[in-house]
């Protein structure tokens, strides 16, 4: 009997699970308690945003002036605002707006920034010079001031606030991708791909982009938290969501004159912003620890 037969696994032995970088990253992520806490917070707010019509006890537009500025009670868990609207209902629906702006503004920034960053880093020369100067111009302005200027030009609305936040954050992802591409295109496997006649488009899609995903994912997760704060800031200034849409920043702006008389009108929307941003920051830090090779021992 041959040695190979002796060493063969028994027929009923369980097959080993196939390991891979993403599976290993998920295992490491699950061991990070703070990252899992952040993920739980995010999932919680996503669920209440999706289920708001089923959970909310009132219509977020419904006004009862006789019940204005009521303290939290069994009928109104978070109290009411200056127009008698149920704050619990408005905070639930506000999660929809804040998460919608956060996710889609970051997605837009990532798409445009990645395209420009790849073109600048891979082709270089005059293309790199033009795109890099564009990034420098955008980064020369404070982010919130540039967003205010864009919304002021386009007109106050939630959609225009989303566009403004996306435009402001494009250089962040563009420069990140450009730096990654500059390092990747000098790797030996890229040189080998060119040597065998592989086209640039295939090199970009098969080698460059897949290996550039890690920093984009980490920065994107952290960027959602920043986008939510920026949306709240624009809403606070009256440049974001317009009445009667229940946006958290707008709710804070409408309630600032009642801080002493009715503090609950500020505490609950402000707490929702704080918890949501905290969740994305915790999860982003966990993803950085898992996906960044420099953070591994």
| Within a domain: 222 | yes
CA distance 29 to 25: 6
217 within domain boundaries? yes
25 within a domain of the structure (yes/no):
no
Strand partners, 80: 86
263, pLDDT greater than 50: yes
CB 224 within 8 A of CB 169: no
70 in any annotated domain = no
Q: According to the model, what pLDDT value does residue 201 have?
A: 77
pLDDT digits (tens, 9 = 90+) for 40-90: 999 999 999 999 999 988 888 888 888 888 888 888 899 888 888 999 999
At residue 20 the predicted structure's pLDDT band, cuts being 50, 70 and 90, is low
Write down the pLDDT at residue 4.
47
Percentage of the residues of the chain whose pLDDT score is greater than 90? 27
How many domains does the structure of the chain reveal? Answer: 1
Residue 251 and residue 255: Cα distance in Å, rounded?
Answer: 6
The highest-confidence range among 186-190, 214-218, 229-233, by mean pLDDT, is 229-233
Long-range contacts of 187-195 (CB under 8 A, 24+ apart): none
Tell me the C-alpha distance between 133 and 97, whole Å. 33
Please state, in angstroms and rounded to a whole number, the distance separating the CA atoms of residues 220 and 55.
30
pLDDT given at position 35:
86
Residue 86 lies in a domain: yes
Q: For residue 185, what pLDDT is reported?
A: 79
**Domain of residue 202, CATH code:** 1.10.3720.10
Task: Please indicate, yes or no, if residue 19 is contained in any of the structural domains.
Answer: no
Its domain, for residue 169, covers: 79-295
What was the pLDDT predicted at 10? Answer: 53
Averaged pLDDT, 153-176: 91
Tell me the pLDDT of the chain averaged across its residues.
84
The answer, yes or no, to whether residue 245 has pLDDT greater than 90, is no
* 276 has a pLDDT exceeding 50: yes
- Give yes or no for a contact between 218 and 291, defined as CB atoms under 8 angstroms apart: yes
Question: Measuring CA to CA, which residue among 78, 61, 63 is closest to residue 262?
Answer: 78
Helix (H), strand (E) counts: the chain: 13, 0
Average pLDDT over residues 160-174: 92
Q: Residues with Cβ < 8 Å from 65, sequence gap 6 or more?
A: 83, 84
Q: What is the reported pLDDT for 6?
A: 46
Task: For residue 228, give the nearest of 185, 278, 194 by alpha carbon.
Answer: 278
Looking at the domain assignment, is residue 73 inside a domain?
A: no
Q: How many CB atoms lie within 10 A of CB 10?
A: 5
Per-residue pLDDT at 148 exceeds 70 = yes
Residues in the chain: 297
Largest CA distance in the chain: 92
In whole angstroms, how far apart are CA 271 and each of 174, 250, 264?
32, 14, 10
84-122: pLDDT as tens digits: 899 999 999 999 998 999 899 999 999 999 999 988 888
Q: Poorest-confidence range of 15-24, 64-73, 277-286?
A: 15-24
What is the pLDDT at residue 275?
Answer: 94
* Domain-located, residue 41: no
- Other CB atoms within a 10 A radius of the CB of residue 192 amount to 10
Would you state the pLDDT for residue 44? 94
For range 151-163, the mean pLDDT: 89
């Amino acid at each position: 009997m041959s040695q190979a037969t002796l060493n063969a696994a028994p027929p009923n032995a369980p097959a080993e699970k196939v390991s891979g970088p993403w599976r290993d990253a998920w295992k490491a992520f699950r061991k990070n308690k703070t990252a899992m806490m952040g993920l739980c917070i995010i999932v919680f707010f996503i669920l209440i945003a999706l289920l708001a019509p089923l959970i909310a006890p009132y219509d977020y537009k419904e006004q009862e002036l006789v019940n204005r500025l009521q303290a939290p009670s069994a009928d109104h868990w978070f109290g009411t605002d200056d127009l008698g609207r149920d704050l619990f209902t408005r905070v639930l629906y506000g999660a929809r707006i804040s998460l919608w702006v956060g996710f889609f503004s970051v997605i837009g920034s990532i798409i445009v920034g990645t395209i420009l960053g790849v073109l600048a880093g891979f082709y270089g020369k005059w293309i790199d010079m033009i795109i890099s100067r564009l990034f420098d111009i955008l980064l020369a302005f404070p982010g919130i001031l540039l967003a205010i200027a864009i919304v002021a030009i386009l007109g106050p609305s939630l959609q225009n606030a989303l566009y403004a936040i996306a435009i402001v954050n494009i250089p962040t992802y563009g420069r990140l991708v450009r730096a990654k591409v500059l390092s990747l295109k000098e790797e030996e496997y890229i040189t080998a791909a060119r040597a065998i006649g592989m086209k640039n488009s295939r090199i970009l899609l098969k080698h460059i982009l897949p290996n550039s995903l890690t920093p984009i994912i980490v920065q994107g997760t952290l960027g959602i938290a920043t986008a939510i704060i920026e949306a709240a800031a624009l809403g606070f200034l009256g440049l974001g969501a317009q009445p009667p849409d229940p946006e958290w920043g707008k709710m804070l702006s409408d309630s600032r004159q009642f801080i002493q008389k009715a503090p609950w009108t500020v505490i609950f929307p402000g707490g929702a912003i704080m918890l949501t941003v905290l969740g994305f920051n915790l999860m982003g830090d966990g993803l950085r620890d898992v996906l960044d090779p420099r953070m591994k021992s």
